Each structure stands twice: as structure tokens, then as C-alpha cells.
A and B are shown apart, each in its own frame.
Chain A
Amino acid sequence: MHLIETRDLCYSYSGSSRALDGINFIAPRNARIAVLGSNGAGKSTLFKHFNGIFKPTSGSILIRGEPITKQNVREVRKFVGIVFQNADDQIFAPTVELDVAFGPTNLGLDEETIHHRVREALHIMGIEDLAGRVPHHLSGGEKKRVAIAGAIAMEPEVLVLDEPTAGLDPKGIHDLLGFISDLKKSSGMTVIFSTHDVSLVPEIADYIYVMSKGRIVAQGTVAEVFSQTELLKSVRLDVPHYPKLIKSLQEKGIPVSMAFTFEEAEKAFLEAFKGRS
């Protein structure tokens, strides 16, 4: 049984063409799934199906093997935490602390548990010092963290992040990646995230979906997806620098083995150089 599964999911916004067309998406337990796609590919629309905000026009979505109904939608939303692209839409309470407490409060937890969860979530995101601040005084990166803290305070099993790195500075991106890989070790939470910044993907993802114009055009492991250079180009995406460079070197007859992350590439180049000297 998969945590999230969609079968031939289609969705049309009223009065316009198909936003999603025959999506078959699977999220297994304890996975890091990247959804790649250019602007307007349908990533956000797909994500909004994962917790029942949008209902499929046709096809189905199963959460832990069950369709989303009025009766279980609360359970589903507790199970799947979504952080939208624009943090401003998501932070609606007057202070950071109150905003993070919003989810737990609505789950009907007692006050002590709420306090504990809020502290925990702020601690995980490293923003304890922002607790009493008002949201409109926060920077973009801080708002993003608050929004993520708001989602993890509900202790979901699947965390869905829509463009989590958009608008973050390099340090912010680095911290976020660290946090995503820590989650895997600490809680076994499945993370699904969308991005069009392909260079980040090999570092954290273990499975990739590529979307274009509402369809899934490719899927597979990092190596499988990033070897399809032409396809990625045709959907307005790019191949990360390391595989791109290595591929071009290979074509010029230099024996370097393929690598996707910084560490792999470093190793591959060291080995290639050892062979020469």
C-alpha cells in the first residue's frame, strides 16, 4: 500500500483546458520525491489534490489506499502536510508562535501538547527566537521556515513542499536541504517537493517525476531521469552541471564515470586523474 497514489488523475479548472492529464503518481514510505517541471506544468495543482483541496475531475487519488471523502478529509490533512509556494498566504495568525500552534489547536490537542509541538517545530526549523515576532516583520526566508514549521507541528507522515527554495538565499537553501535530509533520519517522514532548480535534486531526491503541460513525461531515479538530456530540454528544464560536464567530457573521450552529486563527482574526477598521473 502506498502512502499516496493517483490513478489517471485529470483536473480542469472551470472553463479552461486540462491542468492535469492522466497523472499516475506514487509516493512510497520514507521517500524523497522531487517533482520537476517548468512554470505552469501543473505541480501546484497536483499537490493540492494530495490533501483534498482540489477534487479530481476524473481518475482517483488514494491516500493510504483509500479515496478522500468528507469523513476522512481531516485525517488526510493531518497525514499530509502541505507548504504552499507563497508563505504569506499561509501565515495568517498574528504571531509566529500562534501560527505554528494553529494546526495542533485545530487537531484538538491539549494546551501542553500544543506548546510542546510548537517548541519542537520551531526547534527543528531553528527559529525558536522568532516565536513572539509578528509575521510582517520577517524576511522571506524566515517566513518560509515559519510556514514549514506550521506544517510539521501537525506531525504529518508526508510533507509536501511546493517550491521550497524559491526566494531563499544560498545559506537558506543549504539549511533547507539539510533539514530535508535530517527528516529522513529522524522521523521517516516522506517528503515530496517541487522545483525547477535541477541542481538541488540529485543531493536530496531518490525518485523524480518530470511534469510538463499537466502530464508526467518522465520518471525514475536520479540517474535515469538526468540521462535524458534532450527530453529535459524539450520541457524547458536543464540537466545539473556535474552530469552535463561529465557527459561532455565522456563524449570527448575522457574516461570519467558518471556522477550526479558533488561528492560523487569529486570521487569520479579524482579517480580519473589518478589514472592519468
Chain B
Amino acid sequence: MFEELLEDIAQKNGLREVNTNLKLATGLGAILLCLLSSSYFPPLFIALVLTGAILFLARVDPKTYAELFIVPLWFAVMSVAGIILISGGQDIFWKWDILPSFSLSITRDSINQGIFVFCRVLGGMSALCFISLTTPMTNIFTVLRQWRIPEIIIELMMIIYRTIFILMDQVVQIYTAQVMRLGYSTVKESIHSCATLCGAAFIASWDAGEDLVQAMDARCYTGKFAVLGENRPVERGPLLALFAFLSLSAAVVIFSGNSTII
């Protein structure tokens, strides 16, 4: 159920040894370009390139990647359907007056708008996936320290990061214990088990929090978290690749202008 988390993939992906700044620049740059673009094509282009990078350079299992994409994609499809039906425009293909003041219609403009939004979602998603699948959180902490983000924020992030896994472990253990005793055999039973699971997880995390404070105190906590570890050096290959990717995408953004699909 929870066996493989994003972080586990990031820990062993093919691009792990690439400088973190470069990877973040790739992802954030891609998102920015997706937002700047006013045509459907550049986000689609970015999504394709980054997906290629994720699958072939980072060597992420295609099935895992597809599964990761499905959930937000489902949301995107539903909202795009809404956009296409509700927003009006010229060249009406289909129209249904439900109420005197409200009608559903499919127009050239609404289709263009819908596809544009959908492509943007694809682009943004692939950029986020690129960051989260290639960059372990621990590397991001090092970079944040270099960027002079306030200590308190980094520290909270580190504790939250670790606590997620402890909580996750506990949830998995309780869940397994419930499954072993047929806790999810009927719908009614499932609801009951799920509620118990949430309650137990809450109490467990509360206890874990108290233990954490004690453990930190026992080691003389004065508000400092070690952030060791060097960023990998910027290498020529990845730097050129980043440059090529961003300039090519920027060129696509400029040349595609306002072009629409129909």
C-alpha cells in the first residue's frame, strides 16, 4: 500500500549526483515558462521533455511514474470538462439551455481554453515530478541553508520530514494489524477500522512528539540542527543540458505565441 514513497525513488534515481541547484532550476524554470506561455504547445513540449528526462535519465520506473500522474490527471480532466462546458465564446458547436439564465455550451474558445489549461497542468505536474523524483529532501535542506533561508524554517522542515516517516511506519503497522484481524472485511467494519486507525495514529504521533522533545533535550538541544553535506559541483554536461532545455523551451514559448489547437 505505502511501500514505495517518492522519497525512496529520489534516493536512488539516476540524477541523484547532479547539482541540486541545477535540478531545482530545471523544475522551477519549467513551471515559470508554463505560466508565461499563452499557447497550449509550450507546456506540452515541456511535459514531454521532462517526462523523457524522468524516464530515461533518472530511470524512474514508467509504471510508478504513470501511477503518480493518474490522480492529478483525473482532477485535471474533470476541471477541464467543467471549463469547456461553462465558459462561452464564439463559434458555438453545441448548446443546451438548461435554465433561462444558464446554459452549457461547447465553443471553439472554450475548447481552446480547456486544452490550454490541461496542457499547463501537464507541464506543471511533470516539473514538480521532476523535482520530487530526482532530488531527495536532504539535498534540498543543504541548498536551503546555502540560500540563507532562516534556520527555524529549515529546522521545522527537517523535523517534519523525519516525523512523516515515523508516522507513516506507525500507520502501516496499525493498518497491517487491522487487516490481519479482518478489520476491512465489510464496509461497516472498514469505516470503524479507519476511524480507529486515525485515532491511534494521532495518539501515537502525540507520544512520539513528547519522546522527540526528550531525545533532543538529552542531546543538549539549543536550536541548532546540523546541516552537513556538500552540494555536488556544477558539472558541464548538466549545466549545458539545463541551458539548452530552458532556452529551447523559451524559444518555443515565444514562437508559438497565441496559437490554438482549433
Using a CB–CB cutoff of 8 Å, the interface residues on chain A facing chain B are: 48, 51, 53, 74, 77-78, 81-82, 84, 86, 88-95, 97-98, 101-108, 114-115, 118, 132, 134-137, 150-151, 154
Inter-subunit contact A105/B225 (CB<8 Å): yes
A132 to B222, CA, bound (A): 24
- Are B218 and A51 in contact (CB-based, < 8 A)? yes
**A78, A101, A118, A137: which contacts B220 (Cβ < 8 A)?**
A78
Are B220 and A107 touching (Cβ within 8 A)?
yes
Q: Is B166 within 8 A of A106, CB to CB?
A: no
Complex interface: stretch among B45-53, B155-163, B179-187: B155-163
Which of B137, B215, B223 makes the CB contact (< 8 A) with A92? B215
| CB–CB A77/B218 < 8 A | yes
A106 to B218, CA, bound (A): 11
Contact of B166 among A81, A88, A114 (CB under 8 A): A88
In the bound complex, residues from chain B placing their C-beta under 8 Å from that of A88 are 166, 169, 208
Which residues of the partner chain B approach A82 to less than 8 Å between Cβ atoms? 218
Chain B interface residues (CB < 8 Å from chain A) = 7-8, 11, 136-138, 141, 158-159, 161-163, 165-166, 169, 208, 211-212, 214-229
Contacts A77-B220, A106-B221 given: A84-B211 contact, CB under 8 Å?
Answer: yes
Is the Cβ of B225 less than 8 Å from the Cβ of A102?
yes
Residues of A within 8 A of B227 (CB): 98
Please, which residues of chain A bring their CB within 8 A of the CB of B220? 74, 77-78, 103, 106-107, 154
- When distances are taken between beta carbons in the complex, the residues of chain A under 8 Å from B161 are 94
Q: Which DSSP category, helix, strand, loop or mixed, fits chain B's interface?
A: helix
Are B217 and A89 within 8 A (Cβ)? no
Q: Which residues of A contact B159 (CB under 8 A)?
A: 92
Given A77-B217, A77-B219, A89-B211, A136 contacting B226 (CB threshold 8 A):
no
7 cross-chain pairs, A with B, having the tightest CB-CB distances, nearest first? A101-B226, A89-B211, A136-B165, A105-B226, A103-B219, A90-B215, A94-B138
The answer to whether A106 and B229 touch across the interface, beta carbons within 8 angstroms, is no
Closest Cβ of chain A to B130, distance in Å, is 21
- Distance of B156 from chain A, by nearest CB (Å): 12
Instruction: Say whether B162 contacts A93, CB under 8 Å.
Output: yes
Q: How many A-B contacts at CB < 8 Å in the complex?
A: 101
Residues of B within 8 A of A77 (CB): 217-220
What residue of chain A has the Cβ atom nearest to residue B214's Cβ? A53
Q: Known contacts A89-B211, A136-B169; is A53 also within 8 Å of B11 by CB?
A: no
What is the CA–CA distance of A97 and B226 in the complex, to the nearest angstrom? Answer: 9
Apart from A95-B138, A106-B221, A134-B7, what are 7 other A-B pairs with CB-CB below 8 Å?
Answer: A84-B218, A89-B208, A92-B212, A97-B229, A101-B228, A103-B219, A105-B225
A102 touching B162, Cβ below 8 Å: no
- Other-chain contact of A53, B136, B208, B212, B218 (Cβ < 8 Å): B218
> What CA separation (Å) do A101 and B221 show in the bound complex?
12
Among B8, B158, B162, B169, the one with the most A-chain Cβ atoms within 10 Å of its Cβ is: B162
Q: Closest Cβ of chain A: how far from B77's Cβ, in Å?
A: 34
Q: Which residue of B lies closest to A80 (CB)?
A: B218
Contact A94 B141 (CB under 8 A): yes
A106 & B211 in contact (Cβ 8 Å cutoff): no
Is B224 touching A105 in the complex (CB atoms < 8 A)? Answer: yes
Q: How far is the CA of A98 from the CA of B155 in the complex (A)?
A: 12
Q: List 6 A-B contacts (CB under 8 A).
A: A81-B219, A84-B215, A86-B211, A89-B212, A94-B158, A118-B228
Known: A53-B214, A136-B165. Is A98-B226 also a contact (CB below 8 A)? Answer: yes
Q: Knowing A89-B208, A89-B211, A92-B215 are in contact, say whether A106-B141 is a contact too (CB < 8 A).
A: no
Q: Which residue of B lies closest to A53 (CB)?
A: B214
